[in-house]
Chains A and B, each alone.
Chain A
Amino acid sequence: MVVGEVAVETEVIIIGGGPGGYAAAIRLGQLGKSVVLIEKDKLGGVCLNRGCIPSKALIHTADQYQRLNDLGKMGIRLSQERTAMDLGVWQDWKAGITSQLKQGIAHLCKENGVTVVKGQAAFLSDDRIGVETDGDFETYKFEQAIIATGSRPFIPSFIKVDGEYILDSTSSLQLQEVPSSLSIIGGGYIGIELGMAFAKLGTKVTIIEMANRILPQIAENLVKEVTRSAKKLGMNIKTSTRVEKASVVDGHVHLHVSSEEKGAEVVVSEKSLVTIGRIPNTEEIGLNRAGVTVGEKGHIEVDMECRTNVPHIFAIGDTTPGPALAHRASKQGVVAAEVIGGLPSAVDSPNVPYVIFSDPQIAGVGLSREEAEQQGYSVKIGKFPFSANGRALATDETEGFAEVIVDADSHILLGMHMVGADASNLIGEGVLALEMAARVEDIALIMHPHPTLTEGWMEAAEAVLGHAIHIVNK
């Protein structure tokens, strides 16, 4: 910074063009604010470029690939030649998807008057920000700012991600060939999603999880189906196991692991993937110069309006405490934008839905049974298995169930969870129901289209009331 420099003035600065940042930028544009959106890499952030979208493209591809093996029983005779997977072609296809989406965002930003600047941003004070682009440095003066810098994979110090043998979630989605074997450190949702996808593509997958089961954050009854399915896919799941050391020997990764049950052992695989968590990107943006305080774990505390301790600076998405999910970031982005625009907006609901693209999928919203009981509710549960649903049978996707959790006193829905095909789409009904403060009767009384999987919700709700049609009510 030099004396006498001229700062570009704007009403709002947004740092980070991920699903939170660009949603905020577009909404601010709609509200007539002058907005500068600074992105150091690619619009769309992790979600679009390295996370949600590419991983779902891979998962879908793997599903299709695996499906081919099951078509025989439906009478489809494929040629006897072995079906091959060309991951190089897949990369191009994936690049096409992300590119189309990025162009869409860029177009929307432009149409809404958002100025997109590529560069690395850092606060200079509480009303100035510096942006470095290919050696150039420009300063911006703002009235309000939104921090939307997201998060990155956490890698423990004794593991070095080289992108070739030891991968993080980003580099695993850039592979040009299907690895013959893959060890995954971490049995959380990213590890399970990618692990199952690669297993379907023919990779021998080993999951190493410290907790006593995979997906430890998700209610145990929901995870059982996935564990069973993983084993059917030939995945090797090592729970209660910790990784001590990782090294590359003769073109293979050697993971030194230990567990109480089996003691120390070495897991050898062609590649290894580290997916043990994410940490917020809050260190290198000069927050201290803006006076924004950061918690012990690097998160920025915000209120319901997404304001930080500095009232004109907001933070959203993975930089704030809470689940690192794109839809949470987007919601916060819109709220922050509306608050800046003078609207009475707030993140006023604890209902953050979650979706896991495992096989079968898991999705849910609201409280689990355990959480509801911990909070002092007396709880009623209704459950309906997919195996009793006509559509599930007709599409050969009979694994899983719908579950509704209800406050026994008021019959208000507390949680809706599902394991099974298309749970990720079906949870929409659950989110709507919980946000509308619906009672279980509201779900039971709605005419659900037949034959669809949505009938599962209706039957689970009826089960709570003791009169589900397609199962025996106990």
Chain B
Amino acid sequence: MMEFKLPDVGEGMHEGEIIQWLIKEGEAVKQDQPIVEVQTDKVNAELTAPAAGVVKKIFFSEGDIVEVGTTIFTIQEENDVSVPYKGMIDEEIQVVQSGDVIVNAEQITTKQHHEVVRALATPFVRQMAREMKVDIEKVKGSGPAGRITESDLKQFKENNSITLEDAKHHDSKSVQEMALMNDAIQAKGVENEWEERIPLKGIRKKIAEHMVKSVSTIPHVTHVDELEMDRLKEFKNQLKEYSDDKDIKLTFLPFFVKAIVIALKEFKTLNASIDEKTNEIILKNYYHIGIATNTEEGLIVPVIKNADQKTIFQLADEIKQLAAQAREGKLSIDQITGSTFTISNVGPIGGMHATPIINYPEAAILALHKMEHRMVVRDLEGVIRLMMNMSLSFDHRLIDGVTAVHFTNRIKELLENPIRLVVEMR
């Protein structure tokens, strides 16, 4: 019997969430056949069978959080000759030919015919589990010698009710936490349940940890400026026919990426990080731009590698693909790590200003806000322009306010005058 332990498929991950079992207990599998989908640090990983055989036991349900190194299933290998004890022996009257009777005792035995596997719990707790529709075999006991107590059951139910039962009603395996929390509050409000507790886990937990680390390490300062987008819009429109021919949906984002990369090359501390262990500033001569993307799973940051070496169209294409993969939860670790600067594009949703939190250990993050026509003053006259705000949060250990303003000014210059952007592009 081979035990399959949850491996560290991420970068030093400690736990993963079982997203989906692709096989059932008792099913025969081939070597390298996908067995289970596990959610690690923002990535879904498909784990495969280490050997051919029969899946004997699955220890966790979908939605369970499992620590690295825990056995999640066992495989009886093909050439494993050990026969599991069946817990039953038929002792029946054996009638041999010609009416010859082997005298045998009546059926009375301590062995049950059926293989009833009893969880280590009192009859009342087992009954309670049935009432709560909890598979008691999956509950971990906290009592003496692993006995399952009433509170174990309640806790299990609490931890699993949302991911297991409610999630079934959602088409996607999404979580969901926020949406569900809203649903739950609305649904339960009338039942006098004023609050609901949902375990902080999965991506949400990762995001939380990441944010705390960022804010508690980096002294954040946010600087806001506005951009006039009319010319860029016009420029983009001029390219529309050309991009349509290439079957590329052109958005503003690739232009931002380009402008930012140009500015980053000039303001190197914005494409940097601090190594706290060695007290060194790391200036990066590569430009990997993270694009914070809202997915149903939560905030994911796919990374465009070497953005400085790509054309506007190449960037557009890559952004589209990464966003799609992010929404499907199909990004690999490689695709979500290693960014040197992050863009948070919240514009499509709305909002004027923000204090974005830096994607640790980077030095800065730029949030792009809603684009809208606003009354502005030009040459002492009120005119209507397509305006957009951007909020830059930066690491004040590395970057002074002046530098930050120069940086956004440069971006502004390039985007408000697309010709200059084109000229500066490599």
Q: Identify the closest chain A residue to B120 (Cβ).
A: A437
Report the bound CA distance from A375 to B117 in whole Å: 12
**In contact, B101 and A276 (Cβ under 8 angstroms):** yes
A366 and B110 contact, Cβ closer than 8 Å, known pairs A158-B101, A344-B127, A344-B130 = yes
Residues of B within 8 A of A411 (CB): 145
* Residues of B116-131 contacting chain A, CB below 8 A: 116-118, 120-123, 126-127, 130-131
Verify B110–A277 contact, CB threshold 8 A: no
Interface secondary structure of A, over-half rule: loop
Judged by a CB distance under 8 angstroms, whether A217 is at the interface is yes
Across-interface contacts of B101 in A (CB, < 8 A): 156, 158-159, 210, 242-243, 276
A17 lies within 8 A of chain B by Cβ: no
| 8 A Cβ contacts from B221-246 to A | none
A44 at the interface (CB under 8 A from B): no
Smallest Cβ distance from A441 to chain B, in angstroms? 8
A439 to B122, CA, bound (A): 12
- Given that A154-B93, A321-B113 are contacting pairs, would A187 and B105 also be in contact in the complex, using a CB cutoff of 8 Å? yes
A374 engages B85 (CB within 8 Å): yes
In the complex, whether B210 has a CB less than 8 A from a CB of chain A is no
A189 with B87, Cβ < 8 A, contacts A157-B99, A277-B93, A322-B113 known: no
Whether B147 lies near A217 (C-beta < 8 A) is no
Q: B110 and A215: CB pair below 8 A? A: no
Encode contact with B along A208-245: 1 for CB under 8 Å, 0 otherwise.
Answer: 11110011111000000000000000000000011110
- Shortest distance in angstroms between B271's beta carbon and chain A's nearest beta carbon? 57
How far is A158 from B146 in the complex, measured between Cα atoms in Å? 55
**B91 and A217 contact, CB distance less than 8 A:** yes
Contacts of B122 in A (CB 8 A): 435-437
Interface string of A322-366 (1 = CB under 8 A from B): 111100000000000000000011111111101010000000111
Distance (whole angstroms) from the CB of A388 to the closest CB of chain B: 26
Please name the residue on chain B nearest to A207 by beta carbon: B103
Decide yes or no whether A108 CB sits under 8 A from chain B: no
Q: Is A273 engaged at the interface, CB distance under 8 Å to the other chain?
A: no
Say yes or no: is B377 at the interface (Cβ < 8 Å to chain A): no
Contacts of B403 in A (CB 8 A): none
Could you mark each residue 365-383 of chain A with 1 if its beta carbon is under 8 Å from any beta carbon of chain B, else 0? 1111001001110000000
Q: Which label, helix, strand, loop or mixed, suits the secondary structure of the B interface?
A: loop
Q: Is A20 interfacial (CB 8 A cutoff)?
A: no
A190 part of interface (Cβ distance < 8 Å) = yes
From known contacts A279-B93, A297-B92, A350-B87, infer whether A304 and B106 are also in contact, taking CB-CB under 8 Å: no
Is A275 an interface residue, CB under 8 A from the partner?
Answer: yes
Given the known interface contacts A304-B116, A348-B116, the answer about A210 and B85 at a Cβ–Cβ threshold of 8 Å is no
Q: Please, which residues of chain A bring their CB within 8 A of the CB of B109?
A: 217, 323, 354
Residues on B with beta carbons closer than 8 Å to the beta carbon of A130: none
With contacts A344-B131, A348-B126, A435-B123 known, is A323 near B105, CB below 8 A? no
Q: A352–B111 Cα gap in the complex (Å)? A: 8
Q: Does B190 lie at the interface of the complex (its beta carbon under 8 Å from any beta carbon of A)?
A: no
Residues 264 to 304 of chain A near chain B (Cβ within 8 Å): 275-279, 297, 304
Chain A, residues 176-199, CB within 8 Å of chain B (1/0): the string is 000000000111111100000000
> Residue on A with the closest CB to B141?
A437
**Contacts of A210 on B, CB cut-off 8 Å?**
101-104
The reply to whether A410 and B103 contact each other, CB–CB distance below 8 Å, is no
Contact bitstring B80-117, A, C-beta under 8 A = 1, else 0: 00000101001111010001111111111111111111
Give every chain A residue within 8 A of B93 (Cβ-Cβ): 154, 276-277, 279
Which B residues lie within 8 Å of A279 (CB)?
A: 93
Name the residue of chain B whose CB is nearest to the CB of A155.
B101
CB–CB B85/A349 < 8 A: no
- Contacts beyond the supplied A365-B110, A367-B110: 15 A-B pairs with Cβ under 8 Å: A158-B99, A186-B104, A209-B103, A210-B104, A243-B101, A277-B105, A277-B107, A346-B130, A348-B118, A349-B126, A350-B115, A350-B118, A375-B85, A437-B120, A437-B121
Interface pairs A-B: 6 shortest CB-CB: A188-B105, A210-B103, A344-B130, A321-B113, A156-B101, A322-B113
